[in-house]
Amino acid sequence: MVENNSDEDEGSARWVLACELRRLREASGKSLAQLAEDTNYDRTYLHRLETGERLSKLPVMEALDAAYGTGELLVRLWGLARLDGFKDKYREFMKLEAKATIMHAYASAIPGLLQTEDFSRVVLSSVATPISPDELEETVAARLGRQETLQRHRPPHVRVILDEAALRRPVRVPGIWHDQLARISEAAKAPHTTIQVLPFSAGVHSLMGGSLWLLWMADGGAVAYLEGNRSGELIEEPEEVEQYRLSYDRLRDEALSPSDSAAFIEQLVEDSRP
């Protein structure tokens, strides 16, 4: 059985994943030390996965699936388990995000889908209420886990309008900021991803201070998700979604073209070299 789980946790996807990790290892006859040698992950870390104390990142689950010959079983369980840490509305949004065929976003800060691990760690550790190192790593892993959406066999078509402010506010470590800008520049070159910059010259607009996500599903249905610093709202009413789509289209008209945006970001990458 998994240790240190409350009755409330028992039966959650995270609890199921932890139980399955331990069952698979015991069925294989391997010790934690042997598994650590096979996967190149620390035995203490692997133990904490089996007790449910930690939630890993995608590459760890891929390595364990390979070690046990379980196809994508653990990757799929991990995909469900990482949803446990999010609030209800955001959890529902992430489920829809994983099924979306088209994703449009406006962001006043660099969104998780485009963040590097180091940048994400800096941003998440800057919250007003300090969190423990373990909690920080859990949150970083969950945020980066969203990027799996862009790596699937048929990734969605993604368009992100980044406010210029997001690209002008660096973190204090120059190397981390340079790598983050380079990550955005590289993402813009992907065949399914378009990134545009909304310049300061566009002036004030209705979406300032937050972010907007518009998701379209294979059946033609669409939802909107509005996100602020401390809250999020999932919108499914077609008429309201349409209004936010019109707001988004107006911002797209004011944004730099994809090619001009790419040149703008590449210049920032050069200027940020340590």
Q: Where are the domains of the chain?
A: 13-83, 87-271
- Between 220 and 250, residue with greater pLDDT: 250
Predicted pLDDT at 20:
93
Task: Please state the φ and ψ torsions of residue 193, each to the nearest 5 degrees.
Answer: -125, 135
- Which range of 27-41, 82-96, 247-261 scores highest in mean pLDDT? It is 247-261
Residue 68: pLDDT above 60?
yes
Measured over the CA atoms of residue 12, residue 18, residue 22 and residue 25, the dihedral's sign is: positive
CATH 1.10.260.40, applies to 13-83 = yes
Calculate the average pLDDT of the chain.
88
- Given this structure, which CATH class describes domain 87-271? alpha beta
Predicted pLDDT at 229:
62
Strands of the sheet with 157-163, listed across from one edge: 193-198, 157-163, 102-107, 211-216, 222-227, 232-235
Predicted pLDDT at 194:
97
